[in-house]
Amino acid sequence: MITPETIQQITSRLDIVEIVGEFVKLKKRGSNYLGVCPFHNEKSPSFTVNDAKGFYHCFGCAAHGDIISFVMQSEGLEFADAIKKLADDHGIPIPQITKFDKVQEEKIDRDYLLLEKITAFFEKNFQESQGREARNYLTRRGLNAEIIKKYRLGFAPNSFDALNKFLAAAGFSEKELLTSGVIARSDQQKIYDKFRNRVIFPITDKKNRPIAFGGRVLAAEDMPKYLNSAETAIFKKNQ
Ligand code: ZN
């Protein structure tokens, strides 16, 4: 199973000059490397390797590509086999996907979907009449509509069950709600929303997917002033 992470590791960890250099004698020329093309017959070198950009290009036969396509072309391998060879030769582990991983992966997808729904819920509340105070607050703090939209800022209504009822109606189980990081169970076994009457700041991962929330009070007497989501499968505070 080839994952995008494996491909990324290969292209970022391996040095194209080194890999190509096993086949082609390369000389440094400016910011590129130059050699005799292995893909067509030539006497004067027109084959270049750009180390920084991680690709090669031949001005004679137009052969062009990255580290993976070089191995495919030079060894006559399919894409997956070229990856496997590069990974094996250079000690990059290729994860074996098991049935358990598949289940985990589906669960994680569902976690992201849940967080997306919650983000949309807070955004919608922000735009409604109950979000007026939150809108005024952010305006006072100098945030315009563009910024608010870009960072998907929102509002958690002053309710113990608006969010959990919304999510239940959207088909999420009670067990799933409790993995969201923003819904908890009271000592009386009642499910409740942890973020109430707060301006909401989504926390996103590198792919810009919401994974958690920070919430700031609107009423000065509410505590704590700032509240974050609890840790979840997709939100680890130390990461
Ligand atoms: Zn060539």
Q: How many CB atoms lie within 10 A of CB 130?
A: 15
Query: Is the previous residue joined to 224 through a cis bond, with omega within 30 degrees of 0?
Result: yes
Measured distance CA(65)–CA(55) in Å, rounded: 5
| CA 61 / ligand 1 centre spacing (Å) | 4
Q: What confidence tens digit (pLDDT) does each residue in 175-225 have?
A: 999 999 999 999 999 999 999 999 999 999 877 899 999 999 999 899 999
| CA 28 / ligand 1 centre spacing (Å) | 18
Which positions ≥6 away from 86 have C-beta within 8 Å? Answer: 10, 14, 19, 67, 68, 71, 92
Distance of CA 141 to the CA centre of its chain: 29
| CA 35 / ligand 1 centre spacing (Å) | 10
| CA 232 / ligand 1 centre spacing (Å) | 52
pLDDT of residue 97: 65
DSSP reduced 3-state for 209:
coil
| CA 4 / ligand 1 centre spacing (Å) | 29
| CA 62 / ligand 1 centre spacing (Å) | 6
| CA 39 / ligand 1 centre spacing (Å) | 5
| CA 64 / ligand 1 centre spacing (Å) | 9
Helices (H), the chain: 4-13, 16-21, 67-75, 79-89, 99-127, 132-140, 145-150, 162-169, 174-177
| CA 45 / ligand 1 centre spacing (Å) | 9
**Tokens (6 digits) for 159:** 């309710």
Q: How far apart are the first and last CA of the chain?
A: 26
Q: Give the burial class of 197: count Cβ atoms within 10 A of its Cβ; 0-12 exposed, 13-18 middle, 19 or more buried.
A: middle
| CA 72 / ligand 1 centre spacing (Å) | 15
CA dihedral 66, 68, 69, 72 (to 10 degrees): 160
Going by DSSP bridges, is the β-strand pair 55-58/47-50 parallel, antiparallel, or unpaired? antiparallel
| CA 49 / ligand 1 centre spacing (Å) | 12
> What letter would DSSP give residue 35?
E
- The answer to whether the pTM exceeds 0.95 is no
Q: What confidence tens digit (pLDDT) does each residue in 84-95 have?
A: 999 999 988 887
CA dihedral 50, 55, 59, 64 (to 10 degrees): 180
Q: What confidence tens digit (pLDDT) does each residue in 33-52 have?
A: 999 999 999 999 999 999 88
Q: What confidence tens digit (pLDDT) does each residue in 151-169 have?
A: 999 999 999 999 999 999 9
Which positions ≥6 away from 53 have C-beta within 8 Å? Answer: none
pLDDT of residue 118: 98
**Tokens (6 digits) for 234:** 């997709």
| CA 25 / ligand 1 centre spacing (Å) | 14
| CA 31 / ligand 1 centre spacing (Å) | 19
